[in-house]
Amino acid sequence: MIELNSNIPAGPVEQKWDKHRFDMKLVNPANKRKYDVIVVGAGLAGASAAATMAELGYNVSCFVFHDSPRRAHSIAAQGGINAAKNYQNDGDSVQRLFYDTVKGGDFRAREANVYRLAQVSVNIIDQCVAQGVPFAREYGGLLANRSFGGAQVSRTFYARGQTGQQLLLGAYQALERQIALGKVKMHTHAEMLDVVVVDGRARGIVVRNLLTGEVTAHSADAVVLATGGYGNVFFLSTNAMYANVTAAWRAHKKGAAFANPCYTQIHPTCIPVSGEHQSKLTLMSESLRNDGRVWVPKKQGDNRAPSQIPESERDYFLERKYPSFGNLAPRDIASRAAKEACDDGRGVGPGGLGVYLDFAESIKRLGQKTISERYGNLFDMYQRITDENPYQLPMRIYPAVHYTMGGTWVDYNLMSTVPGLHVIGEANFSDHGANRLGASALMQGLADGYFVLPYTIGNYLAGVKPEKVDVTTHPAFTDAVRAVKAQGEQLLNIKGKRTVDSFHKELGKIMWDKCGMARSREGLQEALVEIPKLREEFWRNVNVPGSGASLNQSLEKAGRVADYLELGELMCRDALHREESCGGHFRVEYQEDGEAKRNDEEFAYVAAWEWTGDGQPQRLHKEPLVYENVKMATRSYK
Amino acid sequence: MRLTLHVWRQSGPNTAGKLETYPMDGVEADMSFLEMFDMLNDKLTLEGKEPIAFAHDCREGICGSCNMMISGQAHGPWKGATTCQLHMRAFKDGDEIWVEPWRAKAFPMVKDLVVDRSAFDRIIQAGGYVSVNTGGARDANEILIGKEVVDESMDAAACIGCGACVAACPNASASLFTGAKITHLGLLPQGQPERDRRALAMVEQMDIEGFGHCTLTGECQEACPKEISIDVIKRMNRDYAVAAVRYVEPKETAGAG
């Protein structure tokens, strides 16, 4: 049985990280090169961690399933990255970023982690600028900022609508530099399919080469997963097509507890679904809400063109309901408000599943040129997809799955319940509670990779001897390789009648209907019957063409969908057990005037689920959440 | 709408490939080009045939994975868009479409429409970075950069590394890609200390990889989904020429003590 120990250092929250950095053991420079570290994934968290650890002197091997470490989905983050720089002199501080994040997460995040995140946020901007990240600037040469949801200060740094791209290229270039120096061994087209645990410690991974089908084992003194979130369990999400839960899920099955799986973020501003053929959804950055106003007609079923609807007949519902934050209400709240308007029959566009995001007023006030400078690439993207010109017509938007706050449980040192297995970035659960604020994902990924893990992993490695394991003979490795090969064979040999995608779509529909924006006891109970049934059919009736000995994208996908079919069940179980509403988790039974109603007495804890074997329900462990610095209160953005 | 697709099929790097013809029915104008490929692949799978391998991931024009030569145009007919952003309303009922991989010596064939673009990573490894370790950076606002400068730098930094410039170039040159990185960093104060070394090393690596030389035909900027201007090549050539004259390798003397 696992034990949860958050290892939060003692002392006042402002001093915890400084004190911990001093208390942690160090590995001296000459010894660092004796330690091997495996990093899986090269998004913001993975690339920054791999580069930084290599700079420190560790031998790093980095594995990605892409053809290059520049392709991870961090690259698609549009709007920006938060940091408590207070460059705008508008009252920001580490304390305020900390407070906003804890409140934004609806009091379900760990205080100590969040405080540390706010502290190192300022270093991230310095580091990225030093690397040459071209953040937006004012004419005088100083850095520019914009506002994001859930904050009343302007603390978001950005590079047009391509902030994630520029930050990732910064980390990627640092990583390529270390590859050139021989300190990082890069493995592309390598999909991690298992973690290998030896004597209770994570000692390596098993990967499949996606081009040749070859399955190989790799050993190290510590393993780091930076493998992103699991939003694609819904089939339709803003995530990239390849983003998946497999690495984290296989680690879960090897003993890493999975925390708060039901905390998923539904982003309010995405382009609505256009038809059955849809393969993914496209986000329109939250930054648009700086200048765009969200509205629906006041009348139900009002089919007039938006320009024909006079001001007096429009409901700017976010401004009406949340006057002090207005259009910059946090994502969970804005999404729910949009859903409410559509459920009320006032949605716009095909099927009534959309609300307007209108720039007419801003264009009048600031001119089209300014709007185009700020959001040009997003407007172009919108027009390509919808064939409508957002400079002339309001955008139509609808909420879509975007991010997962849940993930592998980690302690303050970012280590999972498997010693030696560290998890960073979106893949862990630690900093965002039940709802993530906009522009905080980039901050967390880079905080973990540049400034937290490189310290904390030293503390772990200092306590273990650098020893090699022979991957060709050690039974833990040979067994894992055999199991991975066997699963591939099994999938290829089913030769059923349904495509992998058809299963994925069906699962996604169950998840969206029953574990999406609104969840009910009844719906979740139904899903808990439907998902195991679908999983059973998958293993009997899936059709995976081709062979395992070359590039086979259907086989890759089949393995991922197999894991979603298990994860989806756990998400529903977690959502069912959490009999309260908080952040992105909205249970229809628990609400007050349409707002989420938390139950702090019974549910102020992290739910960490332990794998207990195939077909068995996971075992629940609870990490109590203690708030010493921020008073727990009903979140209000009114 | 109905379409006829001719798609390049090749089972591996060492086998011969050829164009296969697939009649398509029920294609909708709102589909993306890749969603049409999803539809075709579903059909092939259910017919017991092997689906077409193609590179893709984000499907919003930023990861740089997707790469199809569509009727002779890299990323197809829409300007400033990747293959994944191309929608079927760009075509009309009855159209015939030819889909081929990027073709360049430095991009070896993998399978069907997938090619190996790792040469781009090695060009970056040669010098496409600022050598700063994590930690110790000074306050971000201590480096003043004028808006015009950072905007021009960002225009170049927008490169997604897809390789359309190489595919569109009659010489299969990687000058737009390489020039974009040299320009992004070379315009910024942070990029100055290594500017000469960077230009020399990246251009040399480009040659080693087997990319052709630039003859300024300008096809690259027409194909570039991020509309990066050929001006970056001018800057690369200038930086290279200056560096070739003035750059001196640092002496291999260590500090005493």
Give A-chain residues touching B49 at CB under 8 angstroms: 545
Q: Residue A410 and residue B15: Cα distance in Å, rounded?
A: 48
The token pair at B34 is: 């890749």
Q: Look at B65 and A66 and tell me if their CB atoms are within 8 Å.
A: yes
Check if A331 is active-site: yes
User: Amino acid identity of A57?
Assistant: G
Q: Residue A421 and residue A34: Cα distance in Å, rounded?
A: 18
Is the domain of B45 the same as that of B165? no
Amino acid B254: pLDDT: 61
pTM recorded for the entire structure: 0.97
Amino acid A1: pLDDT: 82
Gyration radius (Cα) of chain A, Å: 24
Tokens 């099955």 locate to A253
Is the domain of B83 the same as that of B173? no
User: CATH topology of A267-402 equal to that of A485-593?
Assistant: no
Q: Look at B134 and A48 and tell me if their CB atoms are within 8 Å.
A: yes
B177, B163 contact by CB (below 8 A)? yes
Nearest-Cα distance to chain B for A219, in Å, is 25
3-class state of residue A638 by DSSP: coil
Q: Is B255 domain-assigned?
A: no
Amino acid A117: pLDDT: 98
Which residues of chain A, if any, have pLDDT below 70? none
Q: Look at A242 and B185 and tell me if their CB atoms are within 8 Å.
A: no
β pairing state of A59-63 and A36-40: parallel
A402, A265 contact by CB (below 8 A)? yes
Task: Check if the interface score ipTM surpasses 0.90.
Answer: yes
Nearest-Cα distance to chain A for B180, in Å, is 13
pLDDT tens-digit readout, B242-257? 999 999 988 776 665 5
Amino acid B256: pLDDT: 56
CATH of the domain at B195: 1.10.1060.10
Tokens 């256009």 locate to A274
Is the domain of B100 the same as that of B124? no
Is the domain of B75 the same as that of B134? no
What is the number of helices (H) and of strands (E) in chain A?
A: 18, 21
Is the domain of B106 the same as that of B169? no
Q: Look at A141 and B145 and tell me if their CB atoms are within 8 Å.
A: yes
For chains A and B, count residue pairs whose Cβ atoms are closer than 8 Å.
212
* Angle between helices A163-180 and B118-125 in degrees, nearest 10: 70
Q: Which of A49, A17, A42, A45 is nearest to A442 (CA)?
A: A45
- The CATH architecture to which A485-593 belongs is Up-down Bundle (1.20)
Q: Look at B132 and A127 and tell me if their CB atoms are within 8 Å.
A: yes
* Domain boundary pick from B85, B110, B135: B110
Q: Is B253 domain-assigned?
A: no
3-class state of residue A619 by DSSP: strand
A78, A441 contact by CB (below 8 A)? no
Is the domain of B92 the same as that of B122? no
The token pair at A45 is: 């968290």
What phi and psi, each to the nearest 5 degrees, are found at residue A612?
-120, 10
Is the domain of B237 the same as that of B122? yes
Is the domain of B43 the same as that of B128? no
Tokens 């003194």 locate to A221
Nearest chain B Cα to A554, which residue?
B51
B165, B174 contact by CB (below 8 A)? yes
Lowest mean pLDDT among A154-158, A272-276, B93-97, B220-224: A272-276
Is the domain of B12 the same as that of B99? yes
User: Is the model's pLDDT at B123 over the cut of 90?
Assistant: yes
Nearest-Cα distance to chain B for A112, in Å, is 22
For residues B224-244, give the mean pLDDT.
Answer: 98
**Best residue of A177, A212, A238 to probe chain B, by most B CBs closer than 10 Å:** A177
A472: burial class by Cβ within 10 Å (0-12, 13-18, 19+)?
exposed
Amino acid A635: pLDDT: 86
| Ranges assigned E (strand) in chain B | 3-9, 18-24, 69-70, 73-74, 96-100, 109-111, 114-115
3-class state of residue A525 by DSSP: helix
User: Is the model's pLDDT at B101 over the cut of 70?
Assistant: yes
Q: How many domains does chain B have?
A: 2
* Angle between helices A453-461 and A44-56 in degrees, nearest 10: 50
Domain of B63, in residue numbers: 3-110
Amino acid A637: pLDDT: 87
What phi and psi, each to the nearest 5 degrees, are found at residue B104?
-160, 145
| Ranges assigned E (strand) in A244-328 | 258-259, 264-270, 293-297, 314-315
Is the domain of B160 the same as that of B235? yes
- The CATH architecture to which A267-402 belongs is Alpha-Beta Complex (3.90)
Q: Residue B143 and residue A381: Cα distance in Å, rounded?
A: 32
What phi and psi, each to the nearest 5 degrees, are found at residue B5?
-105, 135
Q: Is B254 domain-assigned?
A: no
DSSP A52-114: HHHHHT-EEEEE-SSSSTT-SGGGG--S-EE----TT-SS--HHHHHHHHHHHTTT-S-HHHH
* Domain boundary pick from B90, B110, B130: B110
Is the domain of B149 the same as that of B240? yes
Is the domain of B181 the same as that of B62? no
CB within 8 A of A313, min separation 6: which ones?
Answer: A297, A298, A299, A302
- How is chain A split into domains, by residue range? 267-402, 485-593
CB within 8 A of A320, min separation 6: which ones?
Answer: none
* Domain boundary pick from B57, B88, B110: B110
Tokens 């950069």 locate to B145
A258: burial class by Cβ within 10 Å (0-12, 13-18, 19+)?
buried
